[in-house]
Structure 1
Amino acid sequence: MAEHELDPHDAHHAEFWGEPREGYGVVVGNCQAESVRLVLDSDEVPLVRVPPVYLLDAAATRRLHDLLSGASMLIAQPVKDDYHGLPLGTRQLAASLPRSSRAVTFPIVRFTGLYPFQAALHVPGVEETPPIVAYHDVRTLAEAAGAPVRSRLDRDAVHAEADASLAELRRREASLDVAISDVFADPEFDLVRTVNHPGNAVLLALGDRILRALGRSGEATDPGRPLLNSVHAPREDWVIDAWDLDAEPDSDWTVDGRRVAPAEAREAHLEWYRRHPQFVRGALERLRPTLERWRR
């Protein structure tokens, strides 16, 4: 089989692994990585589209290492060694690069200051995701656990949640080549659509900083459409007040263009939690500091 030819095993990923161009690089990470690739891909920085790491199996992992063996750059979010039992760690991937190639790391963007009620988390042993939206409302989780919390936070608590979120982002980006936490100094909804779906402004800032870290000139390019746009979280009035934002409240979710009332999501998630008590127990432990702010 010719190098980089699509084999039957990953035919379902036909939109990935395009024909590499001269001087190509690879962007590796979660769903944010593809959006970063879109704002960076150009004749000067040609980037091959690859699946997000959580979709890679053993065959695709081998293919990725093969691709990296001829790449001029790796642009990567941090991934721990032996992720999912595969050599997908950022360090392991970088080891497949030619000696003359560059590796640049950038953070996984997560900011809860505009959606302090929302959590995106995984509990080991529970692979299924809840219906409608794969996000958790801490108020609904607490209700499912029989320990309900208040329905909104005051200004100080919203700011405390944002501070804690930024402190964690700064901790994670401290060892990376590119930082992004400073763009959240003045929160506004254009920056993030959910806690882990940054808007174009953040993605473009990441792109510009990655180019600088690579020693490249030029700027990231807006693709002319919103990226990571499939899900928008509610914009609650008390959050708008806490940040003195010029924005209209919107209590609904927007999921693939469909408006979803919070009651619909809440009932669906409560039923899901009843069927997954292990998730509720694990999530409450993970979210303990956040829930403390909601109980005060």
Structure 2
Amino acid sequence: MARLGSLADHGEAVIARRAHYAGFYGDAPLPSGYGLVVGNCQAESLRLVISSDALPTVRMPAVHELSADDTARVHDLLRGASFLVTQPIRDDYRGLALGTAQLRASLAPSARVVTVPAVRFAGLHPFQAVLRLPDFPEDPPLVAYHDVRTVAEAARIDIPAALEPPAVREIAEGSRAELRRREARGLDVVASDLFAPVVEDLARTVNHPGNALFLPLGERIVAALGAPGGAVDPGRPILASVRAPLEDWVVDAWNLDAAPRPDWIVAGETLPADVVREAHLAFYRERPALLAAVVDRMAPLLATWAAAA
């Protein structure tokens, strides 16, 4: 019976996904003059803030969720699209023709293209990293983020529990510098200057910006597309299903007008930070090779924290 239930649940999930992306799958009419926004989990938020009568868009899955059939559909849609907004994507991403150059090749010559950066900012969460380890595809449980303090505890590395303001600002500037480096490759729109001043709504996690970033970035995209009007405020927090803790020492470092929040919020529910920590420690304990790979990838951040001890 469990197997039958699993199959039924899978079928319902497929139906729900097609309904959510009805235009993309051809189950709803396409708007005249439509465009696509292609990229990671940030792409849908960008689509929300630029979509208007002047810039109609088609909702589509994030690029890492696309199948071979989905990829063929992307190229079909691009042939009729008036514009494309895309993050930089390498050719043959995940074995599929989803690279930026490959997407461009399916557009009509008259279509407009705007390239935008994928954004990460650690200034509000200087303890956090999101990692993609090819040899270890499994994410940590509960939340798919690594906390440098939990990693250090698992690896028996001595670091402090918090940082002083100069170290917080150093980590934040590292995020900006990396973003500037990638922007210098010739992107049409930049975002690195939008992380000053630092406010609470800039980021929910290290790789999930907030409205304070998406709205001004949307203004720049609309301008780059040569469209009238500006960004569209969705009237709600976007990319907000997961919110990392906002710790008191981070609030103090930036003099934020916000109350500290010691725990995670996931799908609107509080998830205690101690529960996450214990689950992650068990996860690392059972996977020593993965822990070694995480320590290697997080070595610069671990060094910054160790220097503050």
Alignment TM-score, normalising by the size of structure 1 = 0.93
Give the secondary structure class of the aligned counterpart of 2:265: strand
Per-residue CA distance 1:51-100 (angstroms, 9 max, x = gap): 10101111111111111011111100111111101111111111110111
* Residue matched to 1:195: 206
1:170 pairs with 2:180? yes
1:271 equivalenced with 2:290 (yes/no): no
Corresponding residue for residue 39 of structure 1: 49
Partners of 2:255 and 2:202 in 1: CA distance: 15
SS of the residue aligned with 2:31? coil
Equivalent in the alignment of 1:4: none
Structure 1, residues 132-176: CA drift from partner, whole Å, max 9, x if none?
A: 111110110111122232111111111110111110011112221
CA distance change for structure 1 residues 70 and 273 in 2, over 3 Å: closer, same or farther? same
Map of 2:21 onto structure 1: 16
Residue 143 (1) aligns with residue 148 (2): no
Task: Give the AA of the match of 1:136.
Answer: H
Q: Secondary structure, in 3 states, of the residue corresponding to 1:128?
A: coil
Q: Deviations over 1:7-27 (max 9, x none)?
A: xx9884331151321111000
Aligned to 1:29: 39
Q: Give the drift of 1:201.
A: 2.1
- In the alignment, the residues of structure 1 paired with residue 213 and residue 16 of structure 2 have an alpha-carbon distance, to the nearest angstrom, of 33
- CA–CA distance in 1 between the matches of 2:16 and 2:232? 30
Q: Percent identity?
A: 56
Matched, 1:181 2:204: no
CA distance in 2 between counterparts of 1:22 and 1:63 reads: 18
Does the aligned pair in 1 maintain the 2:204–2:244 contact within 8 Å? yes
Native 8 Å contact 2:83 2:112 kept in 1:
yes
The runs of 5 or more residues in structure 1 that have no matched partner are 1-8
Q: Which moved more, 1:154-163 or 1:142-151?
A: 142-151
2:134 paired residue number: 124
Contact 2:54 2:228 in 1 (8 A): no
Q: Is the 8 A contact 1:69 1:97 kept in 2?
A: yes
What is the aligned-residue RMSD (CA, Å)? 1.5
Q: Does the Cα contact within 8 Å between 1:188 and 1:245 map onto a contact in 2?
A: yes
CA distance in structure 2 between the aligned counterparts of 1:277 and 1:218, rounded to whole angstroms: 53
Report whether the alignment pairs 1:224 with 2:205. no
Distance between the aligned counterparts of 1:214 and 1:10, measured in 2? 34
Query: Over residues 159-203 of structure 1, what are the superposed CA-to-partner deviations in whole Å (9 max), with x where a residue is unaligned?
Result: 110111110011112221111111112111111111111111211
In the aligned structure 1, how far is the partner of 2:156 from the partner of 2:92? 38
Aligned residue in 1 for 2:73: 63
Which residue matches 1:52?
62
Q: Normalised by the size of structure 2, how large is the TM-score?
A: 0.90
Q: 1:282 to 1:10 in 2, by over 3 A?
A: farther
**Is this contact kept in 2: 1:10–1:60, CA < 8 A?**
no
- Of the structure 1 ranges 250-259 and 15-24, higher mean CA displacement relative to structure 2 is found in 15-24
Tell me what 1:5 maps to: none
Q: 1:234·1:250 contact (CA, 8 Å) conserved in 2? A: yes
Aligned residue-pair number: 288
Further displaced range: 109-118 or 245-254: 245-254
CA offset digits 1:108-136 (Å, max 9, x no partner): 11100111001111111222222111111
Residue 183 of structure 2 aligns with an amino acid whose one-letter code is E
Partner of 1:281: 292
> 2 CA distance for matches of 1:162 and 1:138?
15
What is the match of residue 120 of structure 2? 110
> What is the alpha-carbon distance in structure 2 between the residues aligned to residue 29 and residue 291 of structure 1?
29
Q: 1:87 aligns with which of 97, 110, 126?
A: 97
Q: Is the 8 A contact 1:26 1:75 kept in 2?
A: yes
SS of structure 2 residue aligned to 1:221: coil
Q: Show the counterpart of 2:26.
A: none
In 1, Cα distance between the equivalents of 2:243 and 2:277?
16
Report the Cα distance in structure 1 between the residues aligned to 2:233 and 2:211, rounded to whole angstroms.
7
Aligned partners of 1:17 and 1:100: how far apart in 2?
A: 26
Structure 1 residue 240, shift from structure 2 partner = 1.3
Are the counterparts in 1 of residues 30 and 58 from structure 2 also a CA contact under 8 Å? yes
AA of the residue aligned to 1:214: L
